[in-house]
Amino acid sequence: MDNRIARLAELIDRYVERQGGRHISFVQEHLDEVADYAGMIAEKRGLDVELARMSGMLHDIHTLTEGYVSGHAKHCVVIARDLLSDAGIVDEDELETICTAIANHSKKRRVDDVYSEVLKDADTLSHNVPGNINYVADKERARYTALCQEFDLREKRI
């Protein structure tokens, strides 16, 4: 497992270098945090931890170098697909699983496939852990409450 994760981390570093070496450090921290949460959630739900972590590592890859733009998920899918296809570290089914999760990750109010849900949940946790933002976004409120119950977490007071 670690070999593909380490290889993807190298690919992301090279991608950042090709973009001029600039990156937004808090976005990198967010990507790392979401990858960790996605792995934890996938393990608890009996899913492939590696695929979940890879989707977390890539879900905001465009934002890492360019900053946030509306509809950023579609840009992230293009970059993720290129990086993973060129490297040959996933098969076609895994590629589609990862790219679908990335494409769906901002759609927090709807329910999608299990890997999309893992990524949405990991992203929601990252947005709402103590020390990050001090409010729960409306579109994440129900998801955040359910995650607090699933993982026996104390909800933020808002």
Q: Write out the chain's pLDDT in tens, 158 residues.
A: 459 999 999 999 999 988 887 778 888 889 999 999 999 999 999 999 999 999 999 999 998 888 888 888 999 999 999 999 999 999 999 999 999 999 999 999 999 999 999 999 999 999 887 656 555 678 888 898 899 899 988 876 55
- Reduce the DSSP state of residue 21 to 3 states and report it: coil
CATH of the domain at 110: 1.10.3210.10
Give 158's DSSP letter.
-
Query: Could you tell me if residue 156 is inside a domain?
Result: no
Structural domain including 134 reads 2-150
Query: Could you tell me if residue 15 is inside a domain?
Result: yes
Taking the complete model, does pTM exceed 0.75, yes or no? Answer: yes
Let me know: does 58 contact 28? Beta carbons within 8 Å: no
Give the pLDDT of residue 89: 95
73: its two tokens: 């998920």
Query: Could you tell me if residue 155 is inside a domain?
Result: no
Number of domains in the chain: 1
Query: Could you tell me if residue 139 is inside a domain?
Result: yes
**134: buried, middle or exposed (CB in 10 Å: 19+, 13-18, 0-12)?**
exposed
